[in-house]
Structures are given as C-alpha cells and as structure tokens.
Amino acid sequence: MAHISNLGSGIYSYLDIFTGTITTKSTAAECAAYFVGTVAGTADATHKRMPSVREFPSVGTPANIVNVPVFGQATSSQVQGQADAPSLEVTVNYVADDMTAFHTLIGQECVFRFMMAASPVTQDEGAATTLTPTNTEFYFVGKIEAILLNASLTDATTATVTLSTQTDFFGPATL
C-alpha cells in the first residue's frame, strides 16, 4: 500500500490500540502485526479505536537542539542534546459509555497506531492485512496515563487522554 502523496483537508485520522499480550516491539512490522484481526481479518476484543477524536498531538520524536555559547563569538553553536519523548495528549468528545473500556486501560502497556488515510476506514477494515485507501501509519508502545474530563457549558464535553511512550516511534509505514 502506498503512503498518502498529497495534502488535503480530507485526511482521515485514527488512533487504534492493541490491548493484548505484547511479545515483540522493536520494529514497525512487529507493531503492525498486532493490528491484524484474528477472526477473518476483522477486529477482535484486543483491538480498540479511540472514539470521537477532536485533536491529535504532533507525532514523532522531536530533535532537541541546545544552544552552546562560544567564548569570543557573536553566535552560539548548536548541538543535539537528549531528545525527550513528546507530550501526547489526545482530545476526544467525551461520551461515558464509549470511554468505559479506555478507563480500564489506564496504566496498561499497549501498542498504539496513529493512522492517516485518504478515505474513511472502519475498525474492521483497519484490522485487515491490506488496506484499499492510501495511508500512513506511526506505531509506538505506551500507556494511557490519564483521562481528564473537561466539562463545558457551551460546547461538547471533552476529555484529554494523556499517553506515555515506552519505545521510539516506528513509521511512517503503510498497511
């Protein structure tokens, strides 16, 4: 499958989560294998999709540039320092019934997949070994650390889902 090759406002974004037993987690191919369904290519109980996502964070490992002053020079030198994992906060429209299963995952190690596709992808289609629409995917192993409810009187009730990363990001890949 090819990566998305153009920009447009019609990009569909998804956050899928594998909640089963994780044995290997060092390559994109190993992470992608967790998202293939076990029953005729459909999603099973270990595959979940974060419902009603409103905002995604930036995905990837940021470069950490440190300015080092040099004696006698007008400009500093730049060197790469320690690259810390980014803060991953996903904002969702909060519906208690839809989020119950995610509250039980707090603190559990999971494999996460951020998928951007050129057309809509159902959860079952996302669990197939191939995918018809062009797509780009990022994988990482992490945990749901917190789900904070943001009550609102004028807009939809939302929640901020905070994720932590336990591995590097793997991607972009395609399904």
Total count of domains within the chain: 1
The rounded distance, in Å, linking the Cα atoms of 40 and 49 is: 18
The answer to whether residue 103 is domain-embedded is yes
CATH code at 49? 2.30.110
The answer to whether residue 58 is domain-embedded is yes
For residue 25, report the phi and psi dihedrals to the nearest 5 degrees. Answer: -160, 40
Residue 56 has what pLDDT?
A: 85
**For residue 2, pLDDT beyond 70:** no
**For residue 165, pLDDT beyond 60:** yes
pLDDT in tens, 130-154: 788 888 889 999 999 999 999 887 7
The rounded distance, in Å, linking the Cα atoms of 3 and 175 is: 9
The answer to whether residue 73 is domain-embedded is yes
The answer to whether residue 16 is domain-embedded is yes
Residue 149 has what pLDDT?
A: 92
The answer to whether residue 51 is domain-embedded is yes
- Write out the residue range of the structural domain in which residue 142 sits: 12-173
The answer to whether residue 7 is domain-embedded is no
DSSP 36: S
